[in-house]
């Protein structure tokens, strides 16, 4: 999972596919273009780097962000369509992840996603189904955007470009892309909207993919609000997932903890 690194065309859409929730309105769909097999060129715009550095300071600073090696988030996700809610737990250590979705009052997960030490999968009522790399490389975990930006700044593989001000003039826009491989270049573009006053991220636009194609993706937005400090790191305790300009679901953080997680916890599912 790229953290950089939410889900299989988003967890909401996955849950709809396996029958756990009602299907949301169809997202806007776009098509990627074919690229040559050579590695993409990394471009790091000085103005965009300066803006990103300022945002990272507002999010807690590099020292605090780099100190976070693993974390657990307990949250509640609510669908705007029918107002139903369910619990989601995110556990992340480096590039390893485990995401569990539980119905209200349930002890066992409805569905579990794991990185599987390079063999990512989703497991529901039946056995585990593999998730291809182009899906997981594009995923994000919306409450942990601070660490995402820190890792993008630290990595020499990320292009960081200045896209100018937002239409209303209240935000500055930058785009980041992982250039580590041609596949990453195709699936990881992220457009960040940084508030000019606070320098905190206000919104991100990302690509989300289904399991069968790297050519077709949905453009999905996330907005960030209710920032609170956790061990020196600013965390948005409320995020909203957008399909176009429509809020499809909201995520509210109930608890977040930075602590080590056993590597066995991310083992491949059967």
The pair of structure tokens assigned to 6 is: 């939410």
User: Looking at residue 162, which CATH number applies to its domain?
Assistant: 2.50.20
In a domain, 22, yes or no: no
In a domain, 263, yes or no: no
Output DSSP code: residue 57: H
- The pTM is what? 0.85
Nearest to 124 by CA among 133, 113, 135: 113
In a domain, 23, yes or no: no
Q: Do the Cβ atoms of 143 and 53 come closer than 8 Å? A: no
- Residue that wins the pLDDT comparison between 31 and 184: 184
pLDDT number for residue 21: 35
Q: Is 112 helix (H, G, I), strand (E, B) or coil?
A: strand
State which residues form the domain around 248.
11-17+28-255
Per-residue pLDDT band for 24 (boundaries 50, 70, 90) equals very low
pLDDT tens digit sequence for 75-132: 999 999 999 999 999 999 988 999 999 998 888 899 999 999 989 999 988 789 999 9
Is 12's pLDDT higher than 70? Answer: no
H-type helices in the chain, by residue range?
A: 11-17, 46-58, 62-66, 133-136, 145-154, 182-187
HSE-up of residue 140 (Cα within 13 Å, Cβ side): 29
* Number of domains making up the chain: 1
The pair of structure tokens assigned to 134 is: 């182009």
In a domain, 266, yes or no: no
**Length of the chain counted residue by residue:** 270
Task: Name the β-bridge partners of 72.
Answer: 91, 257
Q: Do the Cβ atoms of 77 and 142 come closer than 8 Å? A: no
What's the rounded Cα separation, in Å, for the pair 196 and 164? Answer: 12
């Amino acid at each position: 999972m790229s953290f950089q690194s939410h889900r299989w065309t988003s967890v909401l859409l996955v849950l709809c596919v396996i029958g756990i929730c009602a299907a949301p309105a169809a997202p806007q769909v776009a098509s990627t273009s074919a690229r040559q097999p050579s590695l993409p060129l990394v471009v790091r715009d000085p103005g965009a780097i300066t803006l990103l550095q300022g945002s990272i300071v507002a999010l807690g600073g590099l020292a605090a962000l780099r100190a976070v090696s693993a974390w657990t988030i307990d949250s509640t996700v609510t669908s705007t369509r029918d107002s139903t809610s369910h619990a989601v737990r995110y556990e992340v250590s480096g590039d390893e992840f485990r995401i569990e979705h539980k119905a209200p009052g349930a002890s066992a997960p409805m569905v579990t996603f794991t990185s599987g030490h390079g063999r990512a999968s989703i497991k529901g009522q039946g056995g585990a189904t593999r998730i291809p790399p182009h899906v997981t490389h594009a995923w994000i975990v919306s409450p942990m955007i601070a660490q995402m930006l820190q890792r993008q700044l630290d990595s020499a593989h990320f292009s960081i470009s200045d896209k100018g001000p937002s239409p209303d003039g209240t935000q500055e826009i930058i785009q980041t892309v992982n250039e580590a491989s041609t596949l990453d270049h195709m699936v990881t573009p992220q457009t960040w909207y940084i508030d000019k006053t606070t320098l905190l991220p206000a919104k991100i636009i990302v690509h989300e993919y289904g399991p069968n194609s790297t050519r077709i993706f949905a453009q999905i937005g996330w907005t960030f609000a209710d920032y609170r400090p956790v061990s020196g790191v600013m965390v948005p305790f409320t995020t909203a997932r957008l399909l176009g300009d429509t809020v499809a679901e909201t995520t509210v953080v109930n608890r977040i903890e930075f602590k080590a997680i056993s590597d066995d916890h991310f083992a491949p599912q059967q």
